[in-house]
Structure 1
Amino acid sequence: MDLHYLTVILLGIVEGLTEFLPVSSTGHLILASELLGYDSATWAMFNVVIQLGAILAVVVLYWRTFWAVGMGLLRREPVSWRFLRNLLIAFLPSAVIGLALHDYIEILLGAPQVVAWALIVGGIVILLIERAVKEQRFHGIADIPMVRVLAIGFIQCLAMVPGVSRSGATIMGALMLGVERRTAAEFSFFLAIPTMLGASVLELLKKGDRITSAAVGWDSIALGFVVSFIVALLVIRWFVGLVSKHGFAPFAWYRIIAGIAALIWLGWR
């Protein structure tokens, strides 16, 4: 197989594996660009758009939830409206701040050292939160009060620093604000839909006219999309089951080890 398509498949696997785990998919894709030696700027839009494959996995796995919410909205059921309200409120901070700071965020995407340190610091923070959080008051997305939902939305914005992890920031923020583990994880899945869709649309609007002339064309994006979709389907259910029983500490230790290894490798190369 052509080396280019092997890279496409590998990046699709990385995206599908890491998008919903609290380990930073963007950070892993940046480190992969350094490890494999390809031009990260050329692949920047590819890395954003294939995230939609992972997002589609959420829609497929939770279609019954979305169907029930949709029917509830038509019947004007309060719980369905609160579910939608909470997703939109949590999405709002990242939409406003992400649009305002887009150019600065792109600069950080070219800094693998930032990713390595963010992995380490994030891992330590997860361990501290895991030990500190005891009370779990909210067991459904629709039950979370608006003020706490907005706070989770602002905490998600920390993930604009590559290596922090969007899902990790959302989940840990939710845990600190009294949300039960499984609900926190699922809230991060659902919140990924508007967040990553918005990021992909913004990237397409800014750079879509250049994609056909770039080394990474629509065929590569389509392949990466499919690979990330299939891998994410497998990862999501496994992840929910794991954190329900064992918490997030295994991912924290992985982050710390991966961050230290990345710093050593970046210093020696």
Structure 2
Amino acid sequence: MIDIFKAVILGIVEGITEFLPISSTGHLILVNEFVGFTGNFAHMFDVAIQLGAILSVVVYFRHKLFPFSKSSVTEKRKVFAIWKKTIVGVLPALLIGAALGDHIEEKLFNPVTVSIALLIGGFVLIFIENRRKRIRIRDIHLLDYKTAFIIGFIQCLAMIPGTSRSAATIIGAMLLGVSRVVAAEYSFFLAIPTMFAATSYSLLKIGFALTSSQLQVLIVGFVVSFIVALLVIAGFMNFISSKDFKPFGYYRIILGLLVLIYFYF
């Protein structure tokens, strides 16, 4: 019963933080420390519930992601173009992740790294929102392949826990002249193959040998993560249509400082 409660808590944390620029991995590392959910199964759980968050993206953006639901050839081509740009964007993460992923996980998955990354990312988000910038891409269909690849390369910074995959892609996109809404949309699309590949690799590495109680805990976390992430995506897209990312920057700075204080003092 205790593990079910932890699954619900961690599923909520994953669902809230996965697509916001505040680092889901960082939050899970921190929450695991506080609830005492550790070990190989805990690591598998943290990875597996990301699939629930991925599914929420597919469901929410289904009208933009499913070409066979379109009536015209032009609309189908637009959907296929989005997928091709997403694949181009995920290539750097696949290559760099395969080469350095295990080393980064071994050396950097700790609360201090998370707190420093949270602080740096928070200041960068606020800086970008304060600077005067020219927006050249206001529609996801106008995103070119070169820009998509560069954003994907910047996404690799998220391998450092606490950086946030969504923060890295959104910051990278905005620096390249992409509007706030399009940056968030592409970040969501890029999450599908990126997170699916990372999750599949981690699960294969850890293994699938589960007891019935562990499977139950995993299913609870997956379902909670999916439901919460779906609600968060809807709210987040509505929020950034009229507001900026500064609140997330301030949140990252406050959380980063609190974590540093807690683990040092």
* TM-score after normalising by structure 1: 0.92
Residues 179-234 of structure 1 deviation map (CA, whole Å, 9 limit, x = unaligned):
1111111111111110110011101211124x426x98222111100000110111
Deviation of the 1:145 alpha carbon: 1.7
Which residues of structure 2 form unaligned runs of 5+? none
Aligned-pair Cα RMSD in Å: 2.0
Question: How many residues get paired?
Answer: 264
Q: Give 1:262's match in structure 2, choosing from 246, 259, 264.
A: 259
Within 5 Å, which residues of 2 pair with 1:16-35?
Answer: 16-35=15-34
Which whole-Å CA distance do the structure 1 matches of 2:246 and 2:97 have between them?
29
* CA shift for structure 1 position 42: 3.8
**Structure 1 residues without counterparts, runs of 5 or longer:** none
On the 8 A contact 1:70/1:80 being kept in 2, the answer is no
Aligned counterpart, 1:242:
239
Give per-residue Cα distances to partners, 1:232-252, cap 9 Å, x unaligned.
111111111112211100000
What residue is the counterpart of 1:221 in the other structure? 218
Question: What code does the residue aligned with 2:144 have?
Answer: P
Aligned equivalents of 2:144, 2:111: Cα separation in 1:
37
Deviation at 1:133, TM superposition (A): 4.8
Q: 1:87 to 1:70 in 2, by over 3 A?
A: farther
Residues 248/4 of structure 1: CA separation in 2 closer, same or farther (3 Å cut)? same
Q: In structure 2, do the counterparts of structure 1 residues 92 and 154 end up closer, same or farther at CA, with 3 Å as the change threshold?
A: same
The answer to which of 192-201 and 142-151 deviates more is: 142-151
Identity of aligned residues (%): 46
Deviations 1:69-104 (A, max 9, x none): 345699475433432221010011111111111211
Counterpart CA distance in 2 for 1:73 and 1:137 is: 29
The alignment's TM-score, normalised by the length of structure 2, stands at: 0.93
Q: Which residue of the partner structure matches residue 86 of structure 1?
A: 85
In 2, are the aligned partners of 1:86 and 1:141 still within 8 Å (CA)?
A: no
**Partners in 2 of 1:152 and 1:73 — Cα distance?**
31
Deviation at 1:178, TM superposition (A): 0.9
